[in-house]
């Protein structure tokens, strides 16, 4: 690693193997992958870790319930996580399992180190234990645990960690920002836990002010207004509370010692012995699990190369965790490290819950949405092409391509829709809407219309550029805003900035009307400037989007004639972007649709897939076979009206009003290879853009249609032809012996907005 190259070590939580992965797990892993890709393209020596947490009483009981050994149970479920991340193109550098020998050896060494440093002692404990969350809970028998289930009363001989010794140090580290916790609400939550409950102290102050030493305030006592404004000031004078380095109050002794071994079950890492006591102890699953962040990079290894890896990458630069495990990561984990004399992680960021049916996804609630459902359903939008030139590519290759496309869709939706750190809702309907509005009608449409015009007007080569209008799109600080938002895990804001830029480019094209410029040879220079500006803007947008949608941006990068985007990222070509990166004369790569529109039939398809998997157990199973490509009905591509009388039976007015005729403008028109009769059109309805295939290629050249205001049947269900989706129908009248269709159009001078409905 060069002196100029920074290291960046990033982790996800390791996922508990009580059930198969769902999109809540994918959410964290996607965010981590985006961050890792971002740091790699910036030139940082990046190491990205994920894995599975496989010990504990809950796993032991789950395995027993399905009649297999805990090891077999964890092997199967852990494999389902690893296989899913491969399907999604996740770029983790390692996958740690807590049942691996390297982890077991290192955890035992950590436990021994803590014991030798007198951070651990043997005692007994009786308390309420939440099996679901693998933690003791304060309260009487029957207390409801964090998982919503009654706790169990447990009496055990345990080893205890002297957590109480680290209260003040942890408070000072967090308040100073040396241990950075995001978002602020989670930082405050952790500090509140560390500082203690001030209510009892406040009551004690009021008690002393109101009553003698032998009296106590009766229930419902109203405190007079003349008592101290801040009872904690009085408590501080009495020595009942202390102040941190920043001057904030905390209650000494509020942080209690932590039980870190169990004797009531066996599925865990044995405490290294011999030790005091006679019971056989296994190490508490949270000490075991948290240590993975070090064991995966060589802590505790006897291999010199692994030891060097640990020196190189530790401490972690960022732990990504869910908000429900913030206390384990921000209190217990740093305390373990302090006791062991090891550096603390630099930052911990907690995301919110992904809600489905208004509650957190979980196996017990039965409201899980499997990531495979999204991959299988959206993969149908990218069918395997037929009659491709060149060598025949395998079905496995195309399945991988479909998975990466669908993964990009999910990545974009989760990071665009949900502010990281907050709870967010997921629904199939919202996924379809966001896909169509932002990807199909936004980014995909911009790429398609721009590159199609370069193909048509400039023989498929990047045009020359005089730079006269380029600065209009060089929003000087867009890179800084996007970069800063990515650094703070504000992915939604980064994507909003990019889409603002994208919208400006889209508007510029519509106003400049290059299809009109192309009809006037004297304005060739203006045409080239418009097309170059649009294409160069797409290059910048694509580079900025690469960490979020690596598969799709790779396709766009190739269509721009720029080659392999992964190689460009490795070479540093996606950072510090400057205007003019597209070289005039560069030939475009093979063109094709980026984001075909998704019909709402996909909602039913995803619902059906989930229904079919509702009875799936925690055992790994093969994903369901993809549904047939034809999930919607198929309208015609053009609707000609024949001359003369017809024999068609009359229809009622109720039938007629069901037909939705609307005004649209043709933005893109191009021929479809090996389809002599079809043209592919992209039309603007004002409120959305969509693709229509029209069987009029024998009578209309594509350039004749650009900019025309036409009438379409807007409420027909989409269909697929030649692997492309057609969503609507042109209105035309047939004329002459050959049945030439004459399009129903409006003149540009007609004052009728796009999208207006004909009545």
**Are residues 664 and 565 both part of a single domain?**
no
Single residue among 587, 607, 628 that ends a domain in this structure: 587
Question: Is 580 found in the same domain as 682?
Answer: no
Q: Is residue 736 part of a domain?
A: yes
pTM, rounded to two decimals:
0.77
Quote the longest CA-to-CA distance of the chain: 112
In angstroms, the CA 744 to CA 708 distance is 10
Q: 524-545 vs 478-487: helix axis angle to the nearest 10? A: 10
What gap in Å lies between CA 200 and CA 195, rounded to an integer? 13
Q: How many secondary structure helices (H) and strands (E) does the chain include?
A: 26, 28
Cis peptide before 315 (omega within 30 of 0): yes
Task: Look up the CATH number of the domain holding residue 583.
Answer: 1.10.730.10
Structure tokens at 475: 């929003």
Q: Are 692 and 726 in contact (CB under 8 A)?
A: yes
Here the tokens at position 706 are: 């650009």
H or E, element range at 425: strand 424-425
Looking at 587, 603, 630, the residue that finishes a domain is 587
3-state secondary structure of 253: coil
State the angle between helix axes of 70-87 and 23-41 in degrees (0 to 180), rounded to the nearest 10: 50
Q: Is there a domain that residue 103 lies in?
A: no
> How high is the pLDDT of residue 648?
43
Match 């004639």 to its residue by tokens. Answer: 561
Cβ-contact 712, 690 below 8 angstroms = no
Does residue 702 form part of some domain?
A: yes
Position 689 scores a pLDDT of 79
Apex CA 656: angle with CA 653 and CA 662, to 5°? 140
Q: Quick one: 466 and 552 in the same domain?
A: yes
CA–CA dist 392, 384 (Å, integer): 11
CATH code (residue 642): 2.40.50.140
CB 299, CB 322: distance < 8 Å: no
Which residues of the chain are modeled with pLDDT < 70? 1-4, 134, 209-229, 274-279, 357-367, 385-392, 466-477, 614-657, 723, 735-739, 748-751
Query: Is residue 520 one of the residues assigned to a domain?
Result: yes
Please indicate, yes or no, whether residues 642 and 583 belong to a single structural domain of this protein. Answer: no
For residues 643 and 731, membership in a common domain is answered with yes
Q: Do both 726 and 665 map to the same domain? A: yes
Token pair 């043709």 is at which residue?
666
Contact of 159 with 259, CB cutoff 8 Å: yes
Is residue 599 a part of any domain in this protein?
A: no
Q: Are both 583 and 658 inside the same structural domain?
A: no
CA distance 299 to 309: 9
Q: Which two tokens stand for residue 435?
A: 């896909």
Q: Report pLDDT digits (tens) over 61-71.
A: 889 988 999 99
51 HSE (CA, 13 A, CB side): 25
Contact present, 72 and 282 (Cβ < 8 Å): no
Give CA–CA dist 672/637, Å, rounded.
Answer: 13
Distance CA 490, CA 421 (A): 9
The pair of three-digit structure tokens given for residue 291, joined into one six-digit string: 């240590």
The residues with which 97 forms a beta bridge, in sequence order, are 52
Which is nearest to 110 in space by CA: 174, 170, 161? 161
Verify that 465 and 572 share a domain, yes or no. Answer: yes
Closest CA to 348 of 191, 174, 484: 174
DSSP, collapsed to helix, strand or coil, labels residue 136 as: strand
Single out the residue in 558, 587, 616 at which a domain terminates: 587
Tokens of 41: 């393209």
The pLDDT assigned to 617 comes to: 38
Nearest-angstrom CA–CA distance, 181 and 175: 10
Q: Using CA atoms, how far apart are residues 423 and 537, in angstroms rounded to an integer?
A: 33
Q: Which two tokens stand for residue 103?
A: 């982890």
- DSSP 8-class letter at 100: S
Structure-block tokens of residue 362: 């979980």
**Domain identity same for 570 and 471:** yes
**Which residues have CB under 8 Å from 469's CB, separation 6+?**
529, 530, 533
**CA–CA gap between residue 621 and residue 603 (Å, rounded):** 23
- Packing angle between helix 395-417 and helix 550-559, nearest 10 degrees? 110
291, 329 contact by CB (below 8 A): no
Residue 53 falls inside a structural domain = no
Is 505 inside a domain boundary?
yes
CA-to-CA dists, residue 669 to 412, 452, 681, angstroms: 28, 8, 5
Q: How many CA atoms lie within 13 A of 162 on its CB side?
A: 13
572 lies in some domain: yes
pLDDT for residue 643: 32
- Please tell me the total count of domains within the chain: 2
Domain residue limits at 537: 461-587
Alpha carbon 439 to chain centroid, angstroms: 15
The strand pairing partners of 282, in sequence order, are 262, 270
């Amino acid at each position: 690693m060069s002196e100029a190259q920074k290291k960046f070590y990033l982790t996800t939580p390791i996922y508990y193997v009580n059930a198969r992965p769902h999109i809540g797990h994918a959410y964290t892993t996607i965010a981590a992958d985006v961050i890792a890709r971002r740091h790699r393209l910036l030139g940082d020596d990046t190491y990205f870790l994920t894995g599975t947490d496989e010990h504990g009483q809950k796993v032991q009981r789950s395995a027993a319930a399905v009649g297999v050994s805990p090891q077999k149970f964890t092997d199967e479920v852990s494999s389902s996580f690893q296989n899913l991340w491969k399907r999604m193109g996740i770029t983790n550098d390692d996958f740690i399992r807590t049942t691996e020998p390297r982890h077991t050896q290192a955890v035992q060494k950590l436990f021994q180190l803590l014991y030798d440093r007198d951070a651990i002692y043997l005692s007994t404990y009786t308390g309420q234990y939440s099996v679901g969350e693998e933690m003791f809970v304060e309260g009487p028998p029957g207390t409801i645990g964090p998982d919503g289930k009654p706790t169990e009363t447990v009496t055990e001989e345990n080893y205890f960690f002297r957590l109480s010794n680290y209260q003040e140090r942890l408070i000072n580290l967090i308040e100073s920002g040396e241990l950075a916790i995001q978002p602020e609400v989670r930082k405050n939550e952790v500090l509140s836990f560390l500082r203690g409950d001030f209510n009892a102290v406040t009551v004690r102050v009021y008690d002393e002010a109101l009553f003698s030493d032998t009296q106590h305030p009766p229930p419902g006592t109203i405190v007079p207004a003349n008592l101290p404004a801040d009872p904690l000031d009085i408590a501080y004078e009495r020595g009942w509370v202390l102040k941190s380095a920043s001057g904030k109050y905390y209650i000494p002794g509020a942080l209690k010692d932590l039980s870190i071994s169990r004797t009531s079950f066996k599925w865990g890492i044995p405490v290294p012995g011999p030790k005091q006591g006679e019971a056989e102890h296994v190490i508490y699953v949270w000490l075991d699990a948290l240590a993975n962040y070090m064991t995966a990079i060589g802590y505790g290894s006897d291999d010199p190369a692994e030891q060097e890896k640990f020196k190189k990458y530790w401490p972690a630069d960022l732990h990504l965790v869910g908000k429900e495990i913030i206390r384990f990561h921000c209190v217990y984990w740093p305390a373990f490290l302090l006791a062991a004399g090891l550096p603390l992680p630099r930052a911990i960021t907690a995301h919110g819950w992904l809600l489905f049916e208004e509650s957190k996804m979980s196996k017990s609630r039965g409201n899980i949405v499997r990531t495979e459902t999204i991959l299988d359903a959206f993969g149908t939008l990218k069918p395997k092409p037929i009659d491709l030139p060149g060598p025949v590519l395998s079905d496995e290759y195309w399945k991988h391509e479909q998975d990466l496309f669908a993964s990009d869709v999910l990545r974009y939706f989760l990071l665009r829709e949900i502010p990281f750190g907050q709870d967010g809702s997921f629904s199939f309907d919202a996924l379809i809407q966001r896909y169509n509005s932002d990807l199909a009608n936004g980014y995909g449409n911009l790429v398609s219309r721009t590159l199609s015009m370069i193909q048509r007007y400039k023989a498929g080569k990047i045009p020359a550029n005089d730079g006269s209008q380029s600065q209009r799109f060089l929003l000087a600080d867009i890179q800084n805003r996007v970069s800063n938002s990515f650094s703070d895990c504000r992915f939604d804001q980064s994507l909003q900035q990019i889409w603002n830029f994208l919208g400006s480019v889209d508007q510029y094209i519509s106003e400049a009307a290059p299809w009109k410029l192309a009809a006037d040879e004297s304005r060739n220079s203006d045409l080239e400037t418009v097309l170059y500006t649009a294409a160069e803007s797409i290059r910048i947008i694509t580079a900025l989007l690469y960490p979020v949608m690596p598969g799709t941006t790779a396709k766009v990068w190739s269509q721009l004639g720029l080659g392999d985007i992964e190689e460009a990222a490795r070479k540093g070509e996606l950072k510090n972007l400057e205007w003019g990166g597209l070289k005039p004369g560069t030939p475009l790569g093979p063109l094709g649709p980026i984001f075909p529109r998704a019909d709402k039939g996909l909602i039913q398809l995803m619902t059906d897939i989930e229904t079919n998997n509702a009875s799936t157990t925690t055992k790994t199973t093969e994903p369901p076979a993809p549904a047939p490509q034809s999930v919607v009905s198929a309208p015609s591509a053009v609707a000609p009206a024949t001359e003369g009388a017809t024999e068609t039976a009359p229809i009622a007015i109720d039938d007629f009003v069901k037909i939705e005729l609307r005004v649209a403008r043709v933005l893109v028109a191009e021929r479809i290879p090996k389809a002599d009769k079809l043209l592919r059109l992209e039309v603007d309805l004002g409120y959305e853009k969509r693709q229509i295939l029209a069987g009029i290629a024998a009578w209309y050249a594509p350039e004749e249609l650009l900019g025309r205001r036409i009438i379409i049947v807007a409420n027909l269900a989409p269909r697929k032809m030649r692997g492309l989706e057609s969503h609507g129908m042109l209105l035309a009248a047939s004329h002459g012996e050959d049945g030439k269709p004459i399009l129903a159009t409006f003149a540009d001078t007609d004052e009728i907005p796009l999208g207006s409905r004909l009545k």
